[in-house]
Structure 1
Amino acid sequence: MISKDDIFNIKSDAEFETIALEVFKFQFQNNKVYRSFCDLLYKHPADVKKITDIPFLPIEFFKSREVVSSSEPIEKTFSSSGTTGSITSKHLVTDIKLYEESYLNAFKHFYGNIEDYVVLALLPSYLERDGSSLIYMVNDLIEKSKQPESGFYLNNLEELAETLKTLEAKKQKTLLIGVSFALLDLVEQYQLNLKHTTIMETGGMKGRRKEIIRQELHQILQTGFGVSEIHSEYGMTELLSQAYSKGNGVFECPPWMKILTRDTEDALTIQTPNKTGGINVIDLANKNSCSFIATQDLGKTFDNEQFEIIGRFDNSDIRGCNLMAL
């Protein structure tokens, strides 16, 4: 049985592949939804010798099915944001400690000790609903920072701007994590010049503003905050791990997560790096749900295993996923 220690102590690609194949066998045997999907593709453990042989479950299954690989009781249900009346994704989490270890280990891997940072969160659209995995993570990071100034901001932008200036004057290492539209609201009202603050956007206008391309968004934020790079977080309700970008929209995964791309015309074909395709995620922290997910994002991987997100499929673009209807 794969343990947390196995997952969070992966040191090489070979180790990753070994554990991923073990997790596949476990989920094939214990996850009814995933097993049915693999059966439809005639893909069984005997047919799966390497990572690229593993079937990736279309992410839409999280909207219509209970995707679980564990018989343990559900400790937490995370849900996606959705327009009124739309069906949202639900991630049933049987071991919340796995999620906590995943984001704390990832933060340490990319940014160091959380206690060195004041964590400021500008996430109004997420705070206004229940079930956000992002709010769960950021709330815990705020607590773990043990800094009295750390906290959430909703619409009190003036107070946030003053806090940033005060921390800047003290040369305090600070992380400001925010949803795109709220960060734009902030820099439209206050011009800042931050040397000790990391600005991290989590994407999305959430219907509050017109969507703009990443380069334009980052340029406006760089100018408004007086910083040379805008960091980004790539995560979703259906994953218990996040990838991070320290600039230019190029993301890197923690050692227990990997991105592959699939051919847009043939969903079962995994591509070599440097080609645009559908984003497939292996997230080994998802061992109690499904670790192999075909998302609706379009992107490209590079030879060094970094990746970028280019956009999203619209429904008319999704080919090769007709098994969904089954």
Structure 2
Amino acid sequence: MAASPATSQMIADLLAFIAQDGCSDADFDTMALRVFAHQHACNEPFRRFCQARGVTPRKVKGWREIPAVPIDGFKDLTLSCEPTAGCERVFMTSGTTRGELKGRNWHPDLSVWNASFRGNFERRFMQGAGRIRMGILFPDEAAMPNSSLAHYLQYALQEFGAAGSAHFVGAQGLDTSGVTEALAQAQRSGEPYALLGASYSFVHLMDELKAAGREFRLPAGSRILDTGGYKKQSRQLDFEEFYDSLAQAFGVPRERCINMYGMTELSSQFYDDGNAVVPSVKSGPHWIRSRVVDPLTGREVASGERGILVHCDLANYNSVTTILTEDVGVATANGFLLLGRAQGAQAKGCSLAVEEFLKAAA
């Protein structure tokens, strides 16, 4: 089913915006207000939420004033400007925080999502490397068609992987012998190699390599990308231990061990510039902005204070651009420090925000 004319025009304009070489604050506000007006008009639960707050497109003057939808709202309500039956894809969360209730993010087509990924990944992870042989420590998209991470990693392999790239997690779990041979071949050849996958998959691989007494010294230019945390799928390591272990197991300097921060409910990703120092500063492309707030009031906290991260992602045109996460952060001059999940009073504030949203939007 073809998208509505309004959505088709929005897609075309966003693709052009993403293709730009950066943007001013005023340009970001202009596009953010256009997307907000579209979502206010076409996304009924979101419009009800805005109405309960007395917020309309006429009143909002900049991206910071767009009401932030709590991330759990994606689990309870259908947040989509287009009829979901006509959407090309729905990405769903793993359901680890509230049993089997999954957050859902519908995409009329994947053109904007893919464009958001491609240029950002090329700049932040590939860093001019062209194609590189990749080992993917996550199932492929055929096995997990509703996983945004599966799509992310398979698209990375498709667009930037050299011959010999492969997935090493499948129905039988981690293919330790396969990835070990690929690493040994890279070490022998002297050609750079990239390992990408879920953080917990790296823990499992490092544990198995340690048990087998194996370590590698991958060639210069090799790099590692981890994402997603541990999700109770492996033992949990603190930042220092995790990145020290990666450097030790694969011979990749911590400066080349890059963490990607993303989520199903967004359509863009944040990266750091390596993890020689942790926690590392995360930042995104020009079509996403972040602020740090008190979840009880929604107001930005003072500079240097901890709060809950709010992201405004213009690539997220079909659901809502602006999301109140459950992640604690501190704003920096060039991005933010990601400090973990909300606990205590901050977690309670997030829960109250969810209750307010559901009461207004349902």
Q: Give the SS at the match of 1:295.
A: strand
Shift of 1:226: 2.0
TM-score w.r.t. the length of structure 1 is 0.91
| 1:37 partner SS | helix
The Cα offsets for residues 15-51 of structure 1, whole Å up to 9 and x where unpaired, read as 2122112211221122112111111111112221122
Partner of 2:309: 279
Q: Does 1:138 align with 2:153?
A: yes
Matched AA of 1:165:
A
With normalisation by structure 2, the TM-score equals: 0.82
Amino acid corresponding to residue 318 of structure 1 in structure 2: C
Structure 1, unaligned stretches of length 5 or more? none
The residue type equivalent to 1:29 in the other structure is A
Does the Cα contact within 8 Å between 1:80 and 1:88 map onto a contact in 2? yes
Against the structure 1 CA distance between its residues 24 and 97, is the aligned structure 2 distance closer, same or farther, given a 3 Å change threshold?
Answer: same
Q: Is 1:257 paired with 2:281?
A: no
User: What CA deviation, in whole Å up to 9, does each residue of 1:229-250 have, x standing for no partner?
Assistant: 1211111111111111122332
Is the CA contact (8 Å cut-off) linking 1:107 and 1:114 kept in structure 2?
no
2:274 corresponds to: 247
Measured in 2, the distance between the counterparts of 1:240 and 1:179 equals 18
Residues 105-120 of structure 1 aligned to structure 2 (within 5 Å): 105-110=119-124, 111-112=126-127, 115-120=130-135
- Alpha-carbon distance in 2 for matches of 1:138, 1:114: 17
Q: Is the Cα–Cα contact under 8 Å of residues 278 and 298 in structure 1 kept in the other structure?
A: yes
1:302 positional shift: 0.6
Q: Does 1:41 align with 2:50?
A: no
- 1:80-229 aligned at under 5 Å gives the runs 80-83=93-96, 85-110=99-124, 111-112=126-127, 115-123=130-138, 129-145=144-160, 147-154=162-169, 155-188=174-207, 189=209, 190-194=214-218, 195-229=220-254
Find the residue that maps to 2:320 and give its secondary structure: coil
Pick the aligned partner of 2:325 from 290, 295, 301. 295
1:62 aligns with 2:74: yes
- Offset from partner CA, 1:168-218 (integer Å, 9 cap, x none): 333323321122222122223131122332111113223232333222222
Q: 1:170 to 1:125 in 2, by over 3 A?
A: closer
How far apart are residue 317 of structure 1 and its match? 4.8
Aligned in 2, Cα 1:13/1:87: closer, same or farther, shift over 3 Å? same
- Percent identity between matched residues is 27
Matched, 1:236 2:271: no
Out of 273-282 and 128-137, give the one that drifted further. Answer: 128-137
Residues 114 and 144, structure 1, Cα contact 8 Å, conserved in 2 = no
Report 1:19-38 matches (<5 A).
19-38=31-50
Match of 1:6 in 2: 17
How far apart in 2 are the matches of 1:283 and 1:318? Answer: 20
